[in-house]
Amino acid sequence: MRTPRERRLFAITSLAAVLGFPVLHQWSSPTAYGTSEPSDPSALRVATYNLNFGLAGEAETTNAVLALEVDVLLLQETSDAWREVLEPRLRDRFPHQHWIGADVFPAGGIAILSRPPMHDVTRSESAIGWFPALAATIETAEGPIRVIDLHLKPPVSSSGSLLLGYFSTPSARAREVRAHLDRLARAGIPTVVAGDLNEARGGSVDELADAGFEDAVARHLGRAATWRWRIGPLSLREQLDHLLVDERLEIVSIAILPIGESDHLPIVASVRRRRAHPA
């Protein structure tokens, strides 16, 4: 017997099969990009990972988090159970941590963990009643960098329809991310925006592009999938997770790692201040 989530995903699969959505094909395997220059010690290594709230404590996903050698870790779906598993094991590596537990939605937890000092940690409630966002300013040797951790509305309509939601929710996510940026961005501080945007293109992705952010996953990794789900013989894949930087930052390297049992895959990027800032 299928669980409610499996039934919903089966409906998406059937819809995709009928309409020929790229969720079923054309998405490449996880991949990596890196510049040819030596590793830059001044770069900030950032990872974003949706853990899947229903897998708290699962060994492979836990080990995937522990394997992420980064300076800043942005997590989504951080249930209280996930926090109990991870916080004590990550405390030495990430002395600066801020966790938000799930409240209305079981998938609504979110966290930022940082090795460098962080301050101005700010929570933003969803403008459309879904998951909160979280931001912090990270102190680096070359100056502060703002990180914004997002988990946006899934493609479900107000009536609970996935079919209607696929077409109707991009504008809602655009409105949601616009409000989060207004509350969380800080003038004059280079900014990274990352997390589970629940869409590959359009909506929030376009809104962020209009605000001056470049989607590093799409630019450097093309159509590589960050989310996967198998139902019988069908494998669903999409690029739901993103890492974006504003024009004051550049990507030294970026990779999608095929690790863990979450339906999402972690993205790891090295980010630095652009050497020659455009006038």
Token output for 15: 């819809």
Does residue 71 lie within any of the structural domains? yes
H-assigned helices in 105-146? none
Burial level of 107, CB count in 10 A (0-12/13-18/19+)? buried
**Confidence (pLDDT) at 92:** 97
Query: pLDDT tens digits, residue range 213-268?
Result: 999 999 999 999 999 987 777 778 999 999 999 999 999 999 999 999 999 999 99
**Confidence (pLDDT) at 1:** 43
**Confidence (pLDDT) at 19:** 35
**Confidence (pLDDT) at 48:** 98
Among left, alpha and beta (phi > 0; psi -120 to 50; other), residue 188 is left
H-assigned helices in the chain? 4-19, 59-66, 80-90, 162-168, 170-184, 203-210, 216-221
Count up the domains in the chain and report the number.
Answer: 1
- Considering only residues 39 and 174, tell me which one the structure prediction assigns the higher pLDDT: 174
Taking residues 184-191, report their average pLDDT. Answer: 97
Query: What does the DSSP 8-state code read for residue 153?
Result: P
Does residue 128 lie within any of the structural domains? yes
**Predicted confidence band at 70 (pLDDT cuts at 50, 70, 90)?**
very high
Dihedrals phi, psi of 73, to nearest 5 degrees: -120, 120
**Confidence (pLDDT) at 279:** 45
Q: Mean of the per-residue pLDDT values for the chain? A: 86
Give the Cα separation of 54 and 276 in Å (integer).
Answer: 45
Does residue 157 lie within any of the structural domains? yes
Give the Cα separation of 213 and 53 in Å (integer).
Answer: 28
Dihedrals phi, psi of 244, to nearest 5 degrees: -125, 145
Does residue 226 lie within any of the structural domains? yes
**Confidence (pLDDT) at 110:** 97
Does residue 28 lie within any of the structural domains? yes
- Considering only residues 215 and 277, tell me which one the structure prediction assigns the higher pLDDT: 215
148 closest CA partner among 174, 175, 177, 188: 177
255 closest CA partner among 245, 243, 247, 246: 243
Burial level of 108, CB count in 10 A (0-12/13-18/19+)? buried
Does residue 279 lie within any of the structural domains? no
CATH number of the domain encompassing residue 90? 3.60.10.10
Residue 273 has pLDDT above 90, yes or no: yes
**Predicted confidence band at 276 (pLDDT cuts at 50, 70, 90)?**
low
Residue 64 has pLDDT above 80, yes or no: yes
**Confidence (pLDDT) at 158:** 63
Query: pLDDT tens digits, residue range 99-125?
Result: 998 887 889 999 999 999 999 999 999
Structural domain boundaries, residue 106: 4-273
Taking residues 77-88, report their average pLDDT. Answer: 96
Token output for 182: 């207004």
**Confidence (pLDDT) at 160:** 59
Does residue 278 lie within any of the structural domains? no
User: Please, what is the end-to-end C-alpha distance for the chain in angstroms?
Assistant: 60
Give the Cα separation of 190 and 143 in Å (integer).
Answer: 9
Does residue 263 lie within any of the structural domains? yes
- Considering only residues 22 and 272, tell me which one the structure prediction assigns the higher pLDDT: 272
Query: pLDDT tens digits, residue range 7-51?
Result: 444 444 434 433 334 444 344 566 677 765 556 788 999 999 999
**Confidence (pLDDT) at 57:** 94
Residue 4 has pLDDT above 70, yes or no: no
Instruction: Quickly count helices (H) and strands (E) in the chain.
Output: 7, 15
